[in-house]
């Protein structure tokens, strides 16, 4: 799986999940438990992951939904 978004914003994560669900693209949010354990300081962002084969399509639909500024930078 490839991380395409890293964020602590639950609204961004929820919106991205909804957009990908609507387009039948699988996803997984990594680091949820680590983020909760560290508290509210925001030191550990959650990683929004998709399968390698779905990265291009996922980024396309997320960009169309206005989330292109949230993409991970390489």
Mapped onto helix, strand or coil, the DSSP state of residue 67 is coil
For 52-66, the pLDDT digits (tens) are 999 999 999 999 999
What pLDDT does residue 42 have? 62
> Which sequence spans correspond to the domains of the chain?
2-70
What pLDDT does residue 40 have? 59
Per the confidence metrics, is the pTM higher than 0.85?
Answer: no
CATH placement of domain 2-70: 3.30.70.790
What pLDDT does residue 34 have? 67
Q: Residues near 6 by Cβ (< 8 Å), separated by ≥ 6?
A: 45, 46, 47, 48, 72
For 13-69, the pLDDT digits (tens) are 999 999 999 999 999 999 876 655 555 566 788 899 999 999 999 999 999 999 999
């Amino acid at each position: 799986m490839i991380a395409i978004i890293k964020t602590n914003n639950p609204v961004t994560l929820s919106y991205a999940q909804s957009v990908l669900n609507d387009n039948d693209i699988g996803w997984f949010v990594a680091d949820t438990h680590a983020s909760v354990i560290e508290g509210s300081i925001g030191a550990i962002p959650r990683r929004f992951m998709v399968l390698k084969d779905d990265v291009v399509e996922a980024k396309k639909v997320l960009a169309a939904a206005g989330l292109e500024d949230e993409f991970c930078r390489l």
